[in-house]
Amino acid sequence: MHRVKRSDVPLQETWDLTDLFESHAAWEAELDAIRAALPSVTKYHGQLAEGAEGLAACLEAREALQIRMNRVASYATFRLSTDSLEPNHQADTARVATLDTEFSTKTAFIQSEVLALPDGTVESWMAGDATLHAFRHTLRNWLEIRPYRLTAEVESALLGLSQTLSAPQRIYTLSKGADMRFDQALDKDGQAHPVHDGGSQLSPDPILRRNAYASFTQGLRAYRTTYAATFATEVEKNVTLAKMRGYDSATQMLLHPHKVEESVYHSIHDVIRTELAPHMRRYQRMRQRLLGLDNMLYCDLTVQLPDGPTVTYEQGRMWILDALQVLGEEYHEIIRRAFSERWIDRSDNLGKRSGAFCNTVYGVHSYVFMTWENHTRAVFTLAHELGHAGHLSLAAKYQKQSNSRPPMSFIESPSTMNELLLAQHLLKQSDDKRMRRSVIAGLMGTYHHNFVNHLLEGELQRRMYQIAEKRTPITEQTLTRVKGEILAEFWGDTVEIDEGAALTWMRQPHYYMGLYPYTYALGLSISTAAAQAIESQGEPAIKRWIDVLKAGGTKTPAELAGMAGADITNPDVIRSAVAYVGTLVDAFEATLDEYRDKPAVQGGEG
């Protein structure tokens, strides 16, 4: 499909950024105004030991500026995400990064002065001051890291170096979005198609799909040394910082803000990699037959089935609205607004980054980013991102900005919940085998995305940090070899693990976001348990879930999961979710009666 310039995209396919700023000039004015307002916080420097009232006032002033910072940063990020080819967008994100560094550096005194107070002081002040008590989660988080704090001077220096320390992510993101180019790929009729991260690689035409996959692999190969250096720098940075701060390992340091025990982190990887593999191998063998392929390549794993229905955006919108009515009027109103007020950017244009995300701007609303394609899987993706929107909109409504976002280890539960509710709704609506097969395939895509793609990415992270802790260099050869080994261990002889599969470590920005990948699997394990409770218990389980969403970041992930009925410290929660995948594979097989005696057809070769 031909990709148009951003300026040629129909307005209704784009999000409305005027809710953030009426114009770019207004954004620039706010950027300058925030810098001018920094003294509203820095005037408290050296005074925080004087009492609860002064500390509360300082934190209030800081939060007010953080809310404004989030607006200007989101505006710049959104524009860059939808058109990374525009130099002004790159320049704007750099300006925000500079301001963010200045803001962080000049307000670093707050945490330093709080941690310098005698033991018990903060707790005593919070007990007697309601305003300060509202910041209890921020303050308790700070007190938890007291043993790992460096001197005030060193902490200030590290904040001043924040742009440098985040360089691996910035370099990777800009390079992937703006620099990478791929040769066109030919389809079965000899027609040439553009290749980017997605698109032709997911074509139902096996000739085009595999040619695009080969083209993309060739394009990645040219960047493998550079991306290995950015990956290794990110890992080595975290290993060094962990040692400086006195953590036992980088893994311990990166899990600290997640509020998740290392045992849970390792259990997620170990249980899913071993117990899920048989279900996924069986599923992909059935898909191979449906796709008419004589062998399965990595690019074949998530392509849409040939008999899946075409789903327009309008049809997908109605499916989602109908499915999410179960969560009640308050939640449903958020989803209705997302569609009617242009919170969603769904275009496919040149310079638009790949993937999907939701960013909720406190005091404004959520923004959803994706590329729409007319198939069932796109509906699940949109439902997923709207799950983030519903969650964080409710949290923003009921919590202060500093309390609105839960730890990263829980963040994927509300998003995957929406996918599960969508599947439950659609399966109840139809006995048609073709429709049910498409819905189950869509839901299996959810488990593949979270339990396979991201979990195996997390496994690469886990192994790379183990290597780095031993001071063994991380090279392109190491990354490619280990990624290939991980995929081969999981897929066995079901999927051919070629160079393109082994190079998939180059395709994911999550490696530059701490230990993010495993959280997808943890979140889906929690939402699987909660969705089953909603299906079996009805209103009581729904009320508990809405209370979880409203709680935002006021509770730990274990507490939030417990409210929803899932004990994440017990591996049986993970095993139960894996077992549910097995039942989906059974249900998928039950739709294949008409295919049982159909011989396999030779697949296309790239």
List pLDDT tens digits, range 198-220: 667 778 899 999 999 999 999 99
pLDDT at residue 197, as a whole number = 63
Largest Cα–Cα distance of the chain, in whole Å?
Answer: 81
* Assigned domain for 99 exists: yes
**Nearby residues of 391 by Cβ (< 8 Å), 6 or more positions away:** 414, 415, 549
Give 10-residue mean pLDDT values along the chain (606 residues): 85 97 98 97 97 97 97 97 92 94 93 94 95 94 92 87 90 83 91 78 88 93 94 97 97 95 95 97 96 94 88 97 97 98 95 92 97 92 97 97 93 96 94 92 94 97 96 96 98 96 93 94 96 95 98 95 94 96 96 63 34
Rounded distance, CA 69 to CA 448, Å? Answer: 36
The 3-class SS string of 545-592 reads HHHHHHHCCCCCHHHHHHHCCCCCCCHHHHHHHHHHHHHHHHHHHCCC
Q: Around Cβ 262, how many Cβ atoms within 10 Å?
A: 12
* Assigned domain for 128 exists: yes
pLDDT at residue 181, as a whole number = 85
Helix (H) or strand (E) holding 41: helix 39-42
Of 404, 378, 407, the C-alpha closest to 391 is 404
pLDDT at residue 176, as a whole number = 83
> Is residue 321 within 8 Å of residue 336, measured between CB atoms?
yes
In this prediction the pTM is 0.90
* Assigned domain for 74 exists: yes
pLDDT at residue 163, as a whole number = 86
- CATH code (residue 114): 1.20.140.70
pLDDT at residue 580, as a whole number = 97
Rounded distance, CA 182 to CA 216, Å? Answer: 6
**Nearby residues of 333 by Cβ (< 8 Å), 6 or more positions away:** none
pLDDT at residue 606, as a whole number = 30
Q: Domain tally for the chain?
A: 1
Geometric angle at alpha carbon 443, from 441 and 448, rounded to 5°: 85
Pairing state of beta strands 185-186 and 344-345? Answer: unpaired
Rounded distance, CA 302 to CA 535, Å? Answer: 27
Q: Around Cβ 170, how many Cβ atoms within 10 Å?
A: 17
* Assigned domain for 413 exists: no
Of 47, 249, 34, 58, the C-alpha closest to 139 is 58
Q: Around Cβ 189, how many Cβ atoms within 10 Å?
A: 8
Q: List the domain range (segments joined by +) for residue 50.
A: 6-149
* Assigned domain for 97 exists: yes
pLDDT at residue 162, as a whole number = 87
Rounded distance, CA 416 to CA 550, Å? Answer: 17
Task: Show the tokens assigned to 437.
Answer: 């097969």
CA distances, 430 to each of 304, 378, 426, 436, 439 (Å): 20, 19, 7, 7, 10
CA distances, 402 to each of 62, 127, 142, 552 (Å): 10, 19, 13, 10
* Assigned domain for 26 exists: yes
pLDDT at residue 199, as a whole number = 63
